[in-house]
Structures are given as structure tokens and as C-alpha cells.
């Protein structure tokens, strides 16, 4: 895997993290934004359920990262029960940017200023290849479920 100098700055940070973690994948720059799972899946040519959405939630006031399948929506009550939080809500854009250093629609599973407590939707295990944002709304990367779990140190949970 070689670093591509044409990658956006945040995607270069993600690339560096992947290299340091020993993950051999490449970041793909898309011609159009892939801010939604449906947009990403259409551009990549994969099932929307194989899109690993990186969503930031506030769990009892602390930001957490939830990697969820693009094929469904996170149920807040189920998420709260799965992670042991009483109060769970979507994080506002300012918290997402502060916690990840990345914009909504481009949040990668890694490359953040500091590690976030991370959880992975068990439904993502059903796919041989997953696609996750790579730090910018125009960048994506393929990963296996095991690579995603390993690089994030995530706990596998139910979100729906």
C-alpha cells in the first residue's frame, strides 16, 4: 500500500494510522461525495449494508464511535442497552469534528486526535468486504470485519 499524495489531509492521517496498524488496504478517492451510505454504495457498486457508517453519539455525555451497517438505522434504546448508557443521542456536528477531526460524511474509523470508545454493529460481520469513509466525504476504503474490529479495538454489539 503506498501513500497517495493527492489524498486530502485527513485521509493521509487515516492512511498513516492504517500503515502503523499493519492494515494493507488503499484509500479510494471518489469523484462525488459519499456522505450517505446510499451514495457510497451506488458509487462503489456494493450493497448498502456493506457500508460501515462511522457515527458519533453522545453516551451519557461522552462521544462514542459506532460503526454500523448502512442497511439500517441505529435504535437509540438498543444502543444504550448494548453499551451500558442511560442517555444516548446523536452528537452535533461540532462534537463530531472535535472528537474525530473529521467532517460528518467522511468520518473514518481511525485517524482521530485521540482514540474514541468504539462499537461495531454485529450485522457488519455478514459481509466479506466492508467499505468505510476514510477521513473525507470523497474518500473510502475497503476493510474486512476483523480489520475494522482490530484497528478500532471495538466491542461488537447489537444496534437495532
Give 17-47 pLDDT, tens digit per residue.
Answer: 999 999 999 999 998 877 789 989 999 999 9
pLDDT per residue over 63-73, tens digit each?
999 999 999 99
Largest CA distance in the chain: 44
List the domains of the chain with CATH numbers: 9-157 (3.90.960.10)
Q: How confident is the model at residue 5 (pLDDT cuts 50, 70, 90)?
A: low
Q: How far is CA 72 from CA 32, 122, 159, in A?
A: 23, 12, 9
Q: How far is CA 159 from CA 83, 88, 116, 119, in A?
A: 10, 12, 18, 9
Query: The whole model's pTM is what?
Result: 0.93
Q: Cα–Cα distance between 69 and 157 in angstroms, integer?
A: 12
Q: Cα–Cα distance between 99 and 121 in angstroms, integer?
A: 20
Amino acid at each position: 500500500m503506498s501513500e497517495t499524495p493527492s489524498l486530502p489531509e485527513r485521509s493521509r492521517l487515516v492512511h498513516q494510522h492504517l500503515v502503523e496498524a499493519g492494515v494493507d488496504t488503499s484509500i479510494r478517492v471518489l469523484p462525488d461525495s459519499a456522505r450517505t451510505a446510499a451514495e457510497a454504495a451506488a458509487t462503489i457498486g456494493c450493497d448498502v449494508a456493506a457500508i460501515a457508517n462511522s457515527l458519533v453519539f453522545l453516551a451519557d455525555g461522552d462521544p462514542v464511535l459506532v460503526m454500523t451497517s448502512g442497511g439500517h438505522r441505529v435504535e437509540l434504546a438498543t444502543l444504550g442497552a448494548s453499551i451500558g448508557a442511560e442517555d444516548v443521542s446523536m452528537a452535533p456536528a461540532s462534537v463530531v469534528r472535535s472528537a474525530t477531526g473529521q467532517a460528518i460524511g467522511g468520518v473514518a474509523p481511525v485517524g482521530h486526535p485521540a482514540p474514541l470508545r468504539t462499537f461495531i454493529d454485529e450485522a457488519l460481520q455478514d459481509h466479506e468486504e466492508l467499505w468505510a469513509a476514510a477521513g473525507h466525504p470523497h474518500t473510502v476504503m475497503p476493510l474486512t470485519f476483523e480489520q475494522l474490529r482490530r484497528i478500532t479495538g471495538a466491542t461488537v454489539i447489537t444496534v437495532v
